[in-house]
């Protein structure tokens, strides 16, 4: 059994690097997670790399050359410290494998949570502040907007909402 090392891949080429390393008999691991996002106004669930641009490889340096691994298509270079490739502890890899197991139904979401402050960036309510209430189908959200000193419920496309930048508030 070899040691685990950290590799940096070329931009968005993690799967290409894993595929080419597997062809060479090098064990590799790119932790993937399920992420819920809003894309073009639609709510979608995608598989994404937990560490974009990085993956872990396990190989025995006596049977496979580090130069061979480094020159694999999709691989940029080894992550190094003081000129030596960084060794990754086996227990860290085991923990990552457990947490990113495909049977794990955990979902990471960047969708707003109930009570989040949003800003309407398009449509008739443009420029108004809103409070997220709930998802309304795949493409819309129910929000609370203050109009004439009353909170009014409105169903607005997700693409018309943006997280409110609280750092610019002067309260």
**CATH code of residue 87:** 3.30.70.940
What are the structure tokens assigned to 19, written together? Answer: 């595929």
CA atoms within 13 A on the CB side of 102: 3
Looking at the structure, do residues 92 and 122 belong to the same domain, yes or no? no
Q: 96 and 18, same structural domain?
A: yes
pTM, to two decimals: 0.62
Residue 144 burial (10 A CB sphere; 0-12, 13-18, 19+): middle
Q: Which of 92, 109, 126 is the last residue of a domain?
A: 109
How many structural domains are present in the chain? 2
How would residue 170 be classed by pLDDT, with cut points 50, 70 and 90?
very low
DSSP classification of residue 99:
H
Name which residue leads in pLDDT, 152 or 55.
55
| Proportion of the chain above pLDDT 70, given as a percent | 88
Average pLDDT over residues 147-151: 84
Per-chain mean pLDDT for the chain: 84
Distance of CA 2 to the CA centre of its chain: 29
Question: For residues 14 and 30, is the Cβ–Cβ distance under 8 A?
Answer: yes
pLDDT digits (tens, 9 = 90+) for 75-106: 999 999 998 899 999 999 999 988 888 776 66
> What local confidence, expressed as pLDDT, does residue 30 receive?
93
Q: By three-state DSSP, how is residue 37 classified? A: strand
Residue with tokens 């894993």: 18
């Amino acid at each position: 059994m070899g040691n685990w090392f950290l590799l940096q891949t070329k931009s968005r080429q993690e799967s290409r690097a894993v595929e080419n390393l597997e062809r060479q008999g090098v064990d590799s691991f790119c932790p993937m997670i399920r992420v819920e996002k809003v894309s073009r106004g639609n709510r979608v669930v995608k598989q994404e790399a937990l560490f974009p641009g990085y993956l872990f490889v396990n190989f025995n340096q006596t049977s496979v050359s580090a130069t061979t691994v480094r020159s694999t298509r999709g691989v940029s270079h080894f992550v190094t410290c003081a000129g030596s490739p960084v060794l990754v502890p086996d227990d860290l890899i085991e923990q990552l494998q457990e947490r990113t197991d495909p049977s794990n139904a955990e979902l990471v979401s960047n969708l707003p949570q109930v009570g989040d402050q949003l800003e309407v960036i398009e449509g008739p309510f443009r420029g108004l502040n809103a409070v997220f209430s709930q998802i309304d189908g795949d493409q819309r959200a129910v929000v609370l907007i203050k109009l004439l000193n009353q909170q009014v419920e409105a169903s607005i496309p997700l693409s018309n909402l943006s997280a409110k930048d609280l750092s610019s508030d002067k309260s």
